[in-house]
């Protein structure tokens, strides 16, 4: 999924490790009857060597549950929960275990097939809350009135915080025609929405021609097919006579790194450095442009605090290679890359494997990329549900910057 050619051996090692973990859990399940005559050990007891081990602890928990738990025990749910908790213990919000059902949904979404209400979400780190980046165009969420900046507090009556965003996302998804209830916090006021899920056609790119023959391309995400769509729609703009370009990656939370790299290949000079990654052992991998650029006009890139991950790779490479002027606000600061492994049973493991740096070796993680021209969105623009070009002061600044370029 990510461009990281030097990590093949590392991937194999990680898969072996996960296999060992899963084998241990299966062994634990098979041995609990043997151990159920002994007392339940304290989870914090690290001194008694006879009681050490993940297998023993899980087996004892299982034994006690079978003796006392009133409800139904579902082995598959316990197994998935154990793995999720094990991985969550790393304390990394980007390293996640997915059940086979979750993995199936992820693969469908990555390929542009999505059933749900159609929203992009992010972690609001300051509030530990789930924040809406924006609703998808023509989605049930947009039709219901969900807005950028809304905080999702509850899903179907159950509360969710930012560190539970993946769980909330899975709860929001569902079969077409079914309903989901969201409790939203907006400007200190609580609002409730009941939204009917449906299949949402995901388009990564929207375009238009602005004044002075300025082309405008907004990239909503970098999921599968994004780069091909970008090239196709850029060429259509070119046929309309554009001679300058605005690339809008505001509210773009990222996606597949290779898609961003392929777009950079259309803009940067052959041989230019596009991305530098380092793994936990400081092994370095450098990605360079493979072809001569097809886009050779002045470019402004619009960024904001929700431009993250692959968006930051794009912005950083264009800035460092002096191929674009960045206008807007400092980006989110997600400078780490995840690899997604599908396991043999259909489940998946997304692992943070690398930190990435701009071509000039500037760190991004928890820092972000500063724009060349800093300008915040006006209060009027922030309050607008359907922002018009003339009220978008960041866009107007981008147009102003391009007008000054020959």
Q: In CATH terms, is domain 113-201 a member of 2.30.42.10? A: yes
pLDDT bucket at 381, cuts 50 / 70 / 90:
confident
- At residue 194, the pLDDT reads 96
Give the pLDDT confidence of 281-299 residue by residue, as tens digits. 999 999 999 999 999 999 9
- Contact yes or no for 3/287 (Cβ under 8 A): yes
Task: Enumerate helices (H) and strands (E) in the chain, giving the number of each.
Answer: 11, 19
Give the pLDDT confidence of 106-128 residue by residue, as tens digits. 776 666 557 889 898 888 888 99
Give the pLDDT confidence of 322-335 residue by residue, as tens digits. 999 999 999 999 99
Percentage above 90 pLDDT, the chain: 60
Among 139, 307, 309, 347, the one annotated catalytic: 309
Active site residue 309: yes
Taking residues 55-77, what's their average pLDDT?
A: 88
- At residue 385, the pLDDT reads 61
What letter does residue 212 receive in the DSSP assignment? G
- At residue 8, the pLDDT reads 37
What the block records as the tokens of 211 is 């004044």
Q: pTM for the full model?
A: 0.69
**Does position 269 have pLDDT exceeding 60, yes or no?**
yes
**Does position 265 have pLDDT exceeding 80, yes or no?**
yes
Among 223, 258, 262, 320, the one annotated catalytic: 320
Distance CA 95, CA 353 (A): 9
User: Which residues, 6 or more positions from 139, have their beta carbon under 8 angstroms from its beta carbon?
Assistant: 117, 118, 119, 200
pLDDT bucket at 174, cuts 50 / 70 / 90:
confident
**Does position 35 have pLDDT exceeding 90, yes or no?**
no
pLDDT bucket at 19, cuts 50 / 70 / 90:
very low
- Contact yes or no for 153/128 (Cβ under 8 A): no
Active site residue 203: no
**Does position 38 have pLDDT exceeding 70, yes or no?**
no
pLDDT bucket at 153, cuts 50 / 70 / 90:
very high
**Residue 324's closest CA among 290, 359, 352?**
359
Give the pLDDT confidence of 230-246 residue by residue, as tens digits. 999 999 999 999 999 99
- Contact yes or no for 222/258 (Cβ under 8 A): no
CATH number listed for the domain at residues 205-403: 3.90.226.10
**Does position 202 have pLDDT exceeding 90, yes or no?**
no
Taking residues 130-149, what's their average pLDDT?
A: 89
Distance CA 125, CA 368 (A): 14
| C-alpha 388, offset from chain centre | 27
Of these ranges, 36-45, 130-139, 212-221, the one predicted with the greatest mean pLDDT is 212-221
Q: Where are the domains of the chain?
A: 5-89, 113-201, 205-403
Identify the weakest region by mean pLDDT among 104-113, 163-172, 348-357: 104-113
Compute CA distances 344 → 16, 18, 75, 134, 276, whole Å: 12, 11, 18, 35, 31
| The residue count for the chain | 406
- At residue 109, the pLDDT reads 66
> Which is higher by pLDDT, 222 or 82?
222
Identify the weakest region by mean pLDDT among 14-23, 37-46, 67-76: 14-23
Among 134, 323, 334, 397, the one annotated catalytic: 334
- At residue 310, the pLDDT reads 96
Give the pLDDT confidence of 388-401 residue by residue, as tens digits. 899 999 999 999 99
- At residue 77, the pLDDT reads 87
For residue 220, the SS3 value is coil
Distance CA 375, CA 164 (A): 32
- At residue 60, the pLDDT reads 85
**Does position 248 have pLDDT exceeding 90, yes or no?**
yes
- Contact yes or no for 193/145 (Cβ under 8 A): yes
Cα-Cα-Cα-Cα dihedral sign, residues 375, 260, 117, 208: positive
| C-alpha 228, offset from chain centre | 20
Percentage above 70 pLDDT, the chain: 85
**Does position 14 have pLDDT exceeding 70, yes or no?**
no
Distance CA 72, CA 34 (A): 22
- At residue 348, the pLDDT reads 93
- At residue 196, the pLDDT reads 96
């Amino acid at each position: 999924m990510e461009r990281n050619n030097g990590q093949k051996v590392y991937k194999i090692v990680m898969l072996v490790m996960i296999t060992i973990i899963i084998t241990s859990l299966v062994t634990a399940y098979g041995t609990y009857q043997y151990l159920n005559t002994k007392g339940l050990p304290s989870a914090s007891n690290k001194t008694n060597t006879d009681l050490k081990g993940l297998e023993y602890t899980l087996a004892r928990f299982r034994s006690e549950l079978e003796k006392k738990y009133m409800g139904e025990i579902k082995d598959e749910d316990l197994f998935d929960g154990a793995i999720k908790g094990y991985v969550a213990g790393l304390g990394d919000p980007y390293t996640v275990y997915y059940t086979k059902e979750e993995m199936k949904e992820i693969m469908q979404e990555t390929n542009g097939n999505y059933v749900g209400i159609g929203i992009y979400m992010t972690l609001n780190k300051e509030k530990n809350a789930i924040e809406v980046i924006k609703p998808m165009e023509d989605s049930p969420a947009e039709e219901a009135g969900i807005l950028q900046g809304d905080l999702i507090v509850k899903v179907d009556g159950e509360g969710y915080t930012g560190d539970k965003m993946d769980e909330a996302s899975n709860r929001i998804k569902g079969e077409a025609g079914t309903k989901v209830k969201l409790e939203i916090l907006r400007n200190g006021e609580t609002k409730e929405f009941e939204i009917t899920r449906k299949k949402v056609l995901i388009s990564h790119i929207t375009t238009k021609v602005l004044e002075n023959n300025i082309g405008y391309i907004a990239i909503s995400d970098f999921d599968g097919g994004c780069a091909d769509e970008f090239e196709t729609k850029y060429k259509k703009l070119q046929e309309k006579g554009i001679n300058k370009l605005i690339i809008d990656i505001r509210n773009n939370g990222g996606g597949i790194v290779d898609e961003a790299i392929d777009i950079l290949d259309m803009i940067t000079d052959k041989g230019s450095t596009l991305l530098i990654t380092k793994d936990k052992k400081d092994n370095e991998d450098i990605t360079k442009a493979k072809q001569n650029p097809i886009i050779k006009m002045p470019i402004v890139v619009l960024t904001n605090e929700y431009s993250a991950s692959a968006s930051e790779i794009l912005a950083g490479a264009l800035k460092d290679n002096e191929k674009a002027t960045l206008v807007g606000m400092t980006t989110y600061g997600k400078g780490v890359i995840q690899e997604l492994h599908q396991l043999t049973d259909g489940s998946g493991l997304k692992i943070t494997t690398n930190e990435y740096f701009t071509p000039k070796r500037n760190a991004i993680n928890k820092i972000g990329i500063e724009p060349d021209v800093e300008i915040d969105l006006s209060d009027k623009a922030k309050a607008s549900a359907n922002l018009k070009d003339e009220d978008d002061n960041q866009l107007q600044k981008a147009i102003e910057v391009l007008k000054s370029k020959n």
